[in-house]
């Protein structure tokens, strides 16, 4: 086939994809009240915003996500018997160093760790993960130290 045949079929009119540059990324701030929200649904929505999938300019290889501030991080909701049956494991890398804590015990020690762990597990395991997690701010109270920011509400 000659070039004229390709041009006639419309191949020269393919759409160009605009790829964002790191300098063109604009970050917004989202405020989430975790009171009464189901843990898994809340974490997946937060992870999506941290990645930047809610934006029409999403670029997979760039960190184009936004900041997320979660207030009342200790007042989330779990369904079923997860409070007693869900187990979080940690290991110290020494023999016999396996520790197992139930969700109820972890909430008693540090409730912010539950949401952090859930969001961390829902982010892609790549080099951008730690940068994305640094934009997640978890607070157990209603007030927050980010008074000068203009927040968008996140419908979780």
CATH number at residue 86: 3.90.1180.10
Is 144 inside any structural domain?
Answer: yes
Give the predicted TM-score (pTM) of the model.
0.85
Is 7 inside any structural domain?
Answer: no
pLDDT at position 13: 64
Tokens of 60: 């997979």
pLDDT tens-place string over residues 82-141:
999 999 999 999 999 999 999 999 999 999 999 999 999 999 999 999 999 999 999 999
pLDDT tens-place string over residues 19-38:
888 898 999 999 999 999 99
Cβ proximity of 119 and 77 under 8 Å: no
Is 8 inside any structural domain?
Answer: no
Is 60 inside any structural domain?
Answer: yes
Using a 10 angstrom Cβ sphere, with 0-12 exposed, 13-18 middle and 19 or more buried, the burial of residue 26 is exposed
Cβ proximity of 15 and 52 under 8 Å: no
Is residue 6 scored above 60 in pLDDT?
Answer: no
Cβ proximity of 34 and 70 under 8 Å: yes
Per DSSP bridges, beta strands 67-71 and 29-33 are parallel
Residue 95 domain boundaries: 24-153
Is 10 inside any structural domain?
Answer: no
Is 12 inside any structural domain?
Answer: no
Mean pLDDT for 51-80 is: 93
Question: CA separation (Å) from 104 to 111, 113, 148?
Answer: 9, 12, 35
Is 132 inside any structural domain?
Answer: yes
* CA-derived radius of gyration, the chain: 21
Number of structural domains the chain divides into: 1
For residue 108, give the H/E element and its range: helix 103-109
Is 3 inside any structural domain?
Answer: no
């Amino acid at each position: 086939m000659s070039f004229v045949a390709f041009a006639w079929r419309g191949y020269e009119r393919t759409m160009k994809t605009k790829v964002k540059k790191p300098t063109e990324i604009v970050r917004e701030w989202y405020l989430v009240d975790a009171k009464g929200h189901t843990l898994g649904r809340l974490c997946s929505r937060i992870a999506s915003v941290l990645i930047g999938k809610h934006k029409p300019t999403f670029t997979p290889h760039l960190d184009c996500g936004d900041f997320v501030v979660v207030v009342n991080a200790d007042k989330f909701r779990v369904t079923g018997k997860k409070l007693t049956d869900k187990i979080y494991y940690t290991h110290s890398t020494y023999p016999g160093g396996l520790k197992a804590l139930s969700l109820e015990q972890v909430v008693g020690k540090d409730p912010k760790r539950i949401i952090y762990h859930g969001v961390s597990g829902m982010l892609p395991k790549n080099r951008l993960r730690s940068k994305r997690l640094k934009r997640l701010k978890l607070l157990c109270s209603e007030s927050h130290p980010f008074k000068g920011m203009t927040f968008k509400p996140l419908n979780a």
